[in-house]
Amino acid sequence: MRRLVWNELTPKDRYLVRMIRPISFAETGYVVQLYLPIIGVEAYSLYQLLIHEVGQGSGAAAESSHRSLMLATSLSLDKLLDARERLEAIGLLDVRRRENQQRDYFYEYVIKPPLAPGEFFGDYVLSLMLLNKIENIRFQQLRQQYADPRGRQLEQEYTIVETITKDFHEVFQSLKPSELEVQKGSEREQFLTQMETAFPPAQLKSDFEPQINHMLSASSLRLYLPDNADPQKVLSGSSMEFLYQLCHFYQLDSWGIGQELRDWTLYKPDRSLDGEVLRKRLIQRYTDDKLMRDPAPSAGTDAEDWGVGRLPQAGSEAFARACRTMSPLVLLEKVVGGRISKVFLERAETLVFTDGMQVEVVNALLLHTLASSQMELPKAYMETIRDSWKAKRISTVDEAVKLIVERGEQRSQQSGKPGEKPARAKKETSSAVRRNGRAVLEDKLPASVEWQMSQEKQGTEAKKGQSIQDFPDLQKRLATLRNRQKGE
């Protein structure tokens, strides 16, 4: 089917170009050597043209029409649109479309810098696409050109690292708070406000980190579907939500899940997606280590003191952050230290897709079970907790943590000191009242009454062991009485 370009873009539509941050000379070289073989000459020419339309010194935006862009690049409208979309897909351009009351379109092109060579070669898809275009010899030359063997050698030989960078306030100690104060209504405040209004700064970002966008996209997934699949049924409604859940659980992007959707056996006679068959397929693909996953899924921060063989404490910030941000699969991989067994995978996958529990609650359940069962996931124990939490309608990690903490406190109160209950039971049994050879049960006295009786008993025993020598006043009176008797 031929694409109707005029329904998407017309030569009279105007556009505005701006940069996220300035593009350096080195980054221009990255585009030539790494991106050009993938995107082609037309897309590269468009990228360079848009860069030089922006004010290089100030970063000020430039405005023009697509007709002038067609004349400058000698590209027809359809080829121009194709070149622009290549830049969008590879992560070098962001496009926004604005519309006014008269339904006129105005396009905003935001130029983005390329990935650094290390990041580019670290991206599985881009690296293979480049290899397929330039073959082995040229690929090896580029890897060698952007390699850093000396840095790797330094890391291996000098392993002890200490950061000695000075802080801002360590150097600028003479800076006074009064120097940074601007009084309301003062001449300085009026001047600063006037500058902001008259000369708004260009929208450049010094901290922008370039990255390739592999997020799940329905338009890209449509290209992978076989003929016996209906895109309207597969990529909409509950089916699309199911695909989002799968992608988050297994850390897949559009390309990764698209490779699985190519299989025509995944679809029912009505051309809809069979979710159960896809789930079983992904489990087996993961077990066989054939699943095309993100090579670097998010697994928390390095500052967290939990990982292989160590779990975050329930109620801690690390526990809540792991439950909210991580996939159950990635969480288990972090605890195990690599790929997990099929049994662990099926236990976690069932909680999400069969039992319909929230991902953060599933993570809390997994961590609690591992902590309570010596790093194992016993099925009966997990199902007991699952049923209890579902009956109590636990839907957030905070609610789950509250139950875990309360249960732990109850256990600690019931256990008490080791051996205390058996000794007490033995003592109570030996002191039972017996009548006619049979033990007679008596009501237990309150603790306060038992304490008072024990104090009185101790006082009586103490009095039995005392003599007059322990009472000086009585001793004096006795001596006086004896002297009187002698005098009589």
Buried b (16+ CB within 10 A) or exposed e, 65-77: ebeebeeebebeb
Does residue 431 surpass a pLDDT of 50?
no
For residues 170 and 166, give the distance between their C-alpha atoms in angstroms, rounded to a whole number.
Answer: 6
pLDDT band at 158 (very low <50, low <70, confident <90, very high): confident
pLDDT band at 128 (very low <50, low <70, confident <90, very high): confident
User: Which one is predicted more confidently, 332 or 435?
Assistant: 332
User: Which one is predicted more confidently, 216 or 156?
Assistant: 156
For residues 410 and 426, give the distance between their C-alpha atoms in angstroms, rounded to a whole number.
Answer: 24
Average pLDDT, the chain: 80
Q: Give, rounded to a whole angstrom, the gap between the first and last alpha carbons of the chain.
A: 144
Q: What is the pLDDT of residues 135-152, one digit of tens each?
A: 889 888 888 888 888 887
| Mean pLDDT calculated for residue range 3-24 | 83
User: Which one is predicted more confidently, 386 or 464?
Assistant: 386
Distances (CA, A) of 9 to 41, 67, 73, 80, 438: 21, 11, 16, 10, 101
Residues in the chain: 488
Backbone angles phi, psi at 108, to 5 degrees: -120, 115
Burial label for 94, CB within 10 Å (0-12, 13-18, 19+), is: middle
Contact between 126 and 119 under an 8 Å Cβ cutoff? The reply is: no
DSSP percent split of the chain into helix, strand, coil, nearest 5: 60, 5, 35
Buried b (16+ CB within 10 A) or exposed e, 36-45: bbbbeebbbb
Does residue 287 surpass a pLDDT of 60?
yes
Q: Is 375 left (phi over 0), alpha (psi -120 to 50) or beta?
A: left
For residues 382 and 370, give the distance between their C-alpha atoms in angstroms, rounded to a whole number.
Answer: 10
| Mean pLDDT calculated for residue range 96-105 | 84
Does residue 416 surpass a pLDDT of 70?
no
- Looking at residue 469, its pLDDT comes to 60
- Among 163-172, 210-219, 303-312, 314-323, which is the least confidently predicted range? 210-219
- Among 83-92, 184-193, 297-306, which is the least confidently predicted range? 297-306
Does residue 259 surpass a pLDDT of 80?
yes
pLDDT band at 329 (very low <50, low <70, confident <90, very high): very high
User: Which one is predicted more confidently, 389 or 468?
Assistant: 389
Q: What is the pLDDT of residues 195-208, one digit of tens each?
A: 777 777 665 555 56
- Looking at residue 169, its pLDDT comes to 67
pLDDT band at 224 (very low <50, low <70, confident <90, very high): confident
Backbone angles phi, psi at 63, to 5 degrees: -125, 140
pLDDT band at 453 (very low <50, low <70, confident <90, very high): low
pLDDT band at 43 (very low <50, low <70, confident <90, very high): very high
DSSP 8-state secondary structure symbol assigned to residue 267 = B
